[in-house]
Amino acid sequence: MTRTSLRTRSRARRGTRRALLCAALLALTAQTTAVAPALAEGPGGHGGRDCTRTERPLDGKARRVLEITRKAKKDLRLKSVELRVTVDGREVVTDALGESMTGVPAEPDMNFRAGSVAFAHIGTALLQLVQERKVSLDDTVERWLPDLPKADKITLRMLATNTTGLHDYVTDPDFLAELVAHPFRAWTPKELVAYPLRHSFWYEPGTSWSYSHANYVLLIAVLEKITGVRIDEFLKERVSGPLGLRHTQNNFTPDIPRPVLHAFTSDRGFYEESTFWNPSWTTAPGAVITTDVCDLARSAEGIGSGELLSHRAYRTLLNPGTVGLGGGTRTCPASICLKQTPAKHFGLGVIVVNGWVLQNPSFSGYAAIQAYLPSDRLAIAVSTTKTATTPDGNTAEVVAQRIAAELAPGVPLSIV
């Protein structure tokens, strides 16, 4: 997904160039009462949660991963880093470094916004419906979205793979101006989709690739009509439930379940808390999720291995026809229509990089990544938050890349 930077239009354009690789979903300040581990129920202030630091003493591999993470935290001037690494489902290390807020240590069981991770879950759930012959990826959407321009040409596959040609509202200057000015605003899907519909399509549906948040807003609407089930319930039944993601949930308000990992950002030109900014702009209601780092690692493994899919559906998840699409044309610049290659391409709700299967949300002070390498059965989950001097970009990616270089040196997690 595209990473949204809210400072300037030029920053937004740079975010667009990273569209294949970054995610954008958000939330802010106001409810500091929802914060502290000290307010959570249960022993130790963690409500009896099961996502805890790896018991000491650590073995050699765990020590190396933690040393790499500590150095990355220092190099990137991060406020906090949460991480979990597993191999074949077995824990290598789980830990949290730094602070959630001043004087409040970060803990592995703290919840944060997971953004585009929801899209990986949606892609898997859609493929389950295809397996069951309830829909075809090549069904056009006019029966469910009759008012959408080109609905008779746009298919479920195109919505799920970002090949419709719709503009991305997240990079629209008018949208960004409104978002910067009113970070607590509640957005409706109709308001969000109105921005791309003011523009002509970048290309004819299915003929190229370009990231647009609008695609998943529309896909969620279609899935709810197909199933007759609200998207949060659908994903719980199809994905988070079967994978045992007990602490991954949709939130219809800006609240985050306790204990909370707080976020801070300089997106609006000054360093401020952004934990409880309203995330409704990020996608349709029902798919705005929070999680903890243990669930994030389990999600990486379950989605990245195709655990919930047939072998055929899993192959489609990894390449649903996107490889070879993209590339600049007269009507779509190369910075928008990014070339999709075998080494780096968007799958069906996931990103594939040198065999790694991942999603990487980054928004308003929160950054995260879930990455899985099927050949090594290696899962890496990282979440980071910023200080006032943290560099731009998805810093969780940087931490994960360094860990991957240690544990799978022959298969770089080179996202940028």
Q: pLDDT 10s digit of each residue in the chain, 416 long?
A: 434 433 333 444 444 333 333 433 333 233 322 333 333 333 333 334 589 999 999 999 999 999 999 999 999 999 999 999 999 999 999 999 999 999 999 999 999 999 999 999 999 999 999 999 999 999 999 999 999 999 999 999 999 999 999 999 999 999 999 999 999 999 999 999 999 999 999 999 999 999 999 999 999 999 999 999 999 999 999 999 999 999 999 999 999 999 999 999 999 999 999 999 999 999 999 999 999 999 999 999 999 999 999 999 999 999 999 999 999 999 999 999 999 999 999 999 999 999 999 999 999 899 999 999 999 999 999 999 999 999 999 999 999 999 999 999 999 998 86
Residues 6+ apart with CB under 8 A from 311: none
Place of tokens 């791309």: 196
User: Cα–Cα distance between 364 and 255 in angstroms, integer?
Assistant: 15
Whether the CA torsion 252, 254, 257, 263 is positive or negative: it is positive
CB atoms within 10 A of CB 409: 8
> What is the dihedral sign for C-alpha 307, 313, 315, 318?
negative
Q: What are 175-178's contacts with CB under 8 Å, separation 24+?
A: 176/4, 176/6, 176/9, 176/12
By C-alpha distance, which of 199, 196, 200, 246 is closest to 216? 196
The 10s digit of each residue's pLDDT in 239-298 is 999 999 999 999 999 999 999 999 999 999 999 999 999 999 999 999 999 999 999 999
Question: Which tokens belong to 134?
Answer: 């309830």
Q: Report residue 58 as tokens.
A: 């650590």
Give pTM, 2 decimals: 0.89
Burial of 333 (0-12, 13-18, 19+ CB in 10 A): middle
The region, left, alpha or beta by phi > 0 then psi within -120 to 50, assigned to residue 45 is left
CB-CB contact of 203 with 165 (8 Å): yes
| CA atoms of 411 and 398, how far apart (whole Å) | 15
